Structure formats: C-alpha cells, structure tokens
Amino acid sequence: MQQSHPDLPAPETLAELKQLVKARIDQLNIEDAKSDVTPFIKNTSELDIWSRGYFNEIVDQMTINS
C-alpha cells in the first residue's frame, strides 16, 4: 500500500528522486521483502540476488523519458 507524505516535497530532478529511493532502500528489510513476494514466485532462488546493493544499482540506471 502506498503512503502519502504531504510534509515531504516532491522531487524536482532525477537526482533528487534517486536520492529519495535510495534512502528508502536503506530502510528496507530485504528478508521481509523476500518473504512478502515468495508466495508469488515459482523459483524463489531468483530472489537470492536481492540486496541493497542490487536495488541501488537499479536506481543508478533509472532515467526519465519525456
């Protein structure tokens, strides 16, 4: 479920967005996240790659298309 945070300004640049996402990744409990999605994954070994570093690498590759 998405949560709204009206006291936080919306990011205005890609760099700001990446910073916010990385801050959330730093708070993520990877094992809890794996547990949440395991019922929907046939081959759970595919989740072995999940780590903060993995998700941060994905964020680093984010772009904005206009």
Structural domain boundaries in the chain: 14-60
DSSP 3-state of 51: coil
23: left (phi over 0), alpha (psi -120 to 50) or beta: alpha
Q: 37 or 66: whose pLDDT is higher?
A: 37
Cα–Cα distances in Å, from 17 out to 27, 45, 46, 56, 63? 16, 30, 27, 12, 10
Q: What percent of the chain has pLDDT over 90?
A: 77
pLDDT in tens, 13-44: 999 999 999 999 999 999 999 999 999 999 99
For the entire predicted model, the pTM comes to 0.78
